[in-house]
């Protein structure tokens, strides 16, 4: 399949792609797909066609979620809702955003019979308003010490022809972002404009609805449409759909394409093809000349607004910056069991195959089996819910009395039952109890992988008395009262007498916080706290004062910035400072101060203005 991204507009445009040619010649997409089968066995080709059939089924389901039931609607003046101007993010911020997004990316290895696929994932990639980077593999490193050089585009779900566990992959991450836009203004009197030799046309305006037709570069690089009423008031946009010309027929085309793939798969089951060449010829002969996945060079945008549209502005990319980064992706959920769960076609029953030979190790005896971790599984729901442990030596699933939930790839929490009042312990992949079932909440610190086990039922998770354990079950530190986890290698804790410290992962008290109050954990190498005089300042990770105690209020650092408040005589002034204490946004009177969002999404409200996460005033 052609590459898609997570942005809905681009995803729809790719999925809906049509070809203008009407002759019965195979489309370029079909030709390219058939070429991928060169040198493959019929069994390998069958597996690839099964993948194709599954993807098309997913697209059909996806399209069903986006049935456009909107109709043009006339608004009364008092019903109209004002929108906000569109602008691209500052290129420097986009670059920093991608570097942050790539900071902690890994992959999940998904298994099928005879092969596996790698899906890039990670907390740093989620919740960011960025198009997903493309990851091209260079070298694949297996857990058994072997490696192979292979170029695969992970965004196209290319397979690795091995079931061996992969520890890491060397990739080149590729991304791009706009640095310049063209703005095209249109209304009923001026309904056409030119963009790089192609036409952008306002096809229809009816009450709150507009349709814009675009060609070539304009269609490919379209970003946004803004609408304005007759008084020039910008209108809030409620929805839009970007699709190629003729996209209304996509549902039927998807079904026709799927029908051909399913017919070829049935012929493969019957042994109708003597070799791969015969299969390739049949695909070229039977596929329609137009498929849902062909490239196009024209399309349209339908958009609805909360008001009656008089004129529009279309924003189109007019310059982009390309970025590349060579990096190592680690396996986020490595499977070291040597066995892979697989489903028997048609029966909905599961068994296990060997990662080395691909042969069945545990028969297809388990209906509705799902994986909790590589070592633990479960079937059923409610009263029939049953947990199992994979015993690789005996080659069987061992039923468990305990209720199991994932903790790490090798550890799970175990409780006597699923009831809310149950106490939890920690079980290893061998079925041994590492920690007894006497805790109300257990989690693992993301930075250090240490186990936080909480016994305080009334104070709530991680807010009560917690002991820290390593993966051997040895107590490292505590019991302490704390929240959050290790940041910059240090954890803020309070002991039973009420004394606070920063400790390191070995449990050593490295910073004594006696005489300080309202202490916050470290961010960007700085810890916010208040001294005995009621003024706020910051410590560094060595416990030294990094920024003097001179502020009435302050926020934890976010992307290297903190909002601070000082008193100038009787006047309250607010500013943004960096981690060295230097002023980034100068002090000015501010009657209302607030922050919203985290990371790149942070918005500062102060001085009767709004500033983004980098201290740039928002329009």
Q: Please write the tens of the pLDDT for every residue from 33-67.
A: 888 888 888 888 887 888 788 878 777 776 665 55
Residues 6+ apart with CB under 8 A from 465: 454, 455, 456, 459, 478, 479, 480, 481, 496
3-state class of 389 per DSSP? Answer: strand
Backbone CA torsion sign across 355, 356, 359, 361? negative
| Measured distance CA(285)–CA(279) in Å, rounded | 10
Is pLDDT of 229 > 50? Answer: yes
Q: What is the pLDDT of residues 156-180, one digit of tens each?
A: 767 888 888 899 999 999 999 999 9
Instruction: Report CA Rg, the chain.
Output: 29
Q: Provide the pLDDT confidence category of residue 497 given band limits of 50, 70 and 90.
A: confident
| Measured distance CA(480)–CA(497) in Å, rounded | 10
Q: Indicate left, alpha or beta for 282 from its phi (over 0: left) and psi (-120 to 50: alpha).
A: alpha
| Measured distance CA(585)–CA(598) in Å, rounded | 19
What's the pLDDT at 62?
Answer: 65
Is pLDDT of 7 > 90? Answer: no
Is pLDDT of 8 > 60? Answer: no
SS (H, E, C) 33-98: HHHCCCCCCHHHHHHHHHHHHHHHHHHHHHHHCCCCCCCCCCCCHHHCCECCCCCCCCHHHHHHHH
What's the pLDDT at 13?
Answer: 38
What's the pLDDT at 252?
Answer: 78
Q: What is the pLDDT of residues 174-195, one digit of tens each?
A: 999 999 999 999 999 999 999 9
Is pLDDT of 21 > 50? Answer: no
Q: What is the pLDDT of residues 386-403, one digit of tens each?
A: 999 999 999 999 999 999
Q: Which of 514, 507, 510, 508 is nearest to 529 (CA)?
A: 514
Is pLDDT of 295 > 60? Answer: yes
CB 553 within 8 A of CB 593: yes
Query: Which residue stretches of 448-581 are H helix?
Result: none
| Measured distance CA(333)–CA(317) in Å, rounded | 38
Q: Provide the pLDDT confidence category of residue 15 given band limits of 50, 70 and 90.
A: very low
Is pLDDT of 291 > 50? Answer: yes
How far is CA 261 from its chain centroid?
31
What are the residue boundaries of the structural domains of the chain, listed by start? Answer: 8-60+249-293, 77-245+300-330, 526-619
What's the pLDDT at 531?
Answer: 95
Peptide bond into 567 cis (omega under 30): no
Q: Which of 77, 78, 81 is nearest to 234 (CA)?
A: 81
- CA geometry: angle 415, 419, 422, nearest 5 deg: 45
Is pLDDT of 11 > 80? Answer: no
Mean pLDDT of 369-383: 90
| Measured distance CA(608)–CA(592) in Å, rounded | 7
Mean pLDDT of 570-578: 94
DSSP annotation of 27: -
Mean pLDDT of 427-445: 93
| β-strands 106-112, 311-331 pairing | parallel
| Measured distance CA(505)–CA(468) in Å, rounded | 9
Q: Which of 136, 123, 131 is nearest to 5 (CA)?
A: 131
Mean pLDDT of 264-271: 90
Mean pLDDT of 194-213: 93
Query: Which residue stretches of 271-403 are H helix?
Result: 276-286
- Give burial (CB, 10 Å; 0-12/13-18/19+) of 506: exposed
More confidently predicted of 382 and 587: 587
Task: Return the minimum-mean-pLDDT range out of 428-437, 511-520, 593-602.
Answer: 593-602
Q: What is the pLDDT of residues 42-51, one digit of tens each?
A: 888 887 888 7
DSSP annotation of 456: -
Q: What pTM, to 2 d.p., does this model score? A: 0.67
Q: Which of 605, 619, 614 is nearest to 86 (CA)?
A: 619
CB 420 within 8 A of CB 410: no
More confidently predicted of 549 and 418: 549
CB 240 within 8 A of CB 302: yes
Q: Around Cβ 209, how many Cβ atoms within 10 Å? A: 18
């Amino acid at each position: 399949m052609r590459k898609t991204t997570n942005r809905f507009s681009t995803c729809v445009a790719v999925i809906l792609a049509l070809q203008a040619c009407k002759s019965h010649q195979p489309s370029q997409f079909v030709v390219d797909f058939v070429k991928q089968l060169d040198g493959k066995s019929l069994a390998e080709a069958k597996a690839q066609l099964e993948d194709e059939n599954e993807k098309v089924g997913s697209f059909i389901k996806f399209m069903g979620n986006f049935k456009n039931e909107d109709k043009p609607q006339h608004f009364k003046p008092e019903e109209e809702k004002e929108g906000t101007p569109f602008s691209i993010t500052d290129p420097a911020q986009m670059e920093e955003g991608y570097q942050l997004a790539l900071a902690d990316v890994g992959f999940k290895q998904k298994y099928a019979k005879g092969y596996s696929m790698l899906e890039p994932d990670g907390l740093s990639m989620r919740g960011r308003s960025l198009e997903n980077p493309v990851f091209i593999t260079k070298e694949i490193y297996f857990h058994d010490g072997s490696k192979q050089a292979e170029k695969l585009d992970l965004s196209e779900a290319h397979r690795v022809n091995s079931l061996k566990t992969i520890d890491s992959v060397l990739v080149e991450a590729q991304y791009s972002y706009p640095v310049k836009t063209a703005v095209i203004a249109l209304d009923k009197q001026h309904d056409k404009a030119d963009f790089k030799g192609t036409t952008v046309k306002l096809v229809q305006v009816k009450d709150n609805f507009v349709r814009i037709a675009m060609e070539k570069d304009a269609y490919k690089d379209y970003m946004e449409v803004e609408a304005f009423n007759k008084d020039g008031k910008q209108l809030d946009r409620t929805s839009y759909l970007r699709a190629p010309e003729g996209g209304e027929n996509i549902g039927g085309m998807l079904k026709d394409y799927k029908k051909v793939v399913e017919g070829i798969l049935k012929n493969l089951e019957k042994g109708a093809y003597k070799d791969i060449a015969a299969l390739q010829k049949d695909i070229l002969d039977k596929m329609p000349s137009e498929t849902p996945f062909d490239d196009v060079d024209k399309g349209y945008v339908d958009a609805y607004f909360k008001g009656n549209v008089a004129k529009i502005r279309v924003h189109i990319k007019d310059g982009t910056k390309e970025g590349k980064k060579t990096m190592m992706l680690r396996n986020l959920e490595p499977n070291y069991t040597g066995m892979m769960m697989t489903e028997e076609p048609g029966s909905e029953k599961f068994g296990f195959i060997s990662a080395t030979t691909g042969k069945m190790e545990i028969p297809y005896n388990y209906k509705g089996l799902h994986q909790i971790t590589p070592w633990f599984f479960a079937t059923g729901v409610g009263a029939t819910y049953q947990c199992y442990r994979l015993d690789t030596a005996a080659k069987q699933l061992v039923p468990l009395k305990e209720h199991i939930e994932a903790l790490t790839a090798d550890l799970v929490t175990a409780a006597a039952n699923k009831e809310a009042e149950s106490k939890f312990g920690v079980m290893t992949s061998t079925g041994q109890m590492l920690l007894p079932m006497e805790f109300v909440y257990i989690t693992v610190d993301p930075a250090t992988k240490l186990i936080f086990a909480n016994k305080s039922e009334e104070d709530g998770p991680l807010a009560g008395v917690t002991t820290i354990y390593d993966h051997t079950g040895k107590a490292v530190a505590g019991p302490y009262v704390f929240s959050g986890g290790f940041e910059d290698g240090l954890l803020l804790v309070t002991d039973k007498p009420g004394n606070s410290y920063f400790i390191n992962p070995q449990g050593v008290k490295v910073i004594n916080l006696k005489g300080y109050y309202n202490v916050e954990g470290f961010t960007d190498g700085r810890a916010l706290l208040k001294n005995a005089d009621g003024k706020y300042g910051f410590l560094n990770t060595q416990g030294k004062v990094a920024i003097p105690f001179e502020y009435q209020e302050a926020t934890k650092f976010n992307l290297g910035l903190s909002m601070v408040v000082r008193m100038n005589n009787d006047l309250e002034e607010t500013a943004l400072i960096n981690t060295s204490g230097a002023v980034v946004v100068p002090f000015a009177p501010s009657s209302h101060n607030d922050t919203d969002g985290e990371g790149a999404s942070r918005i500062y409200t102060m001085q009767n203005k709004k500033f983004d996460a980098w201290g740039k005033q928002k329009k």
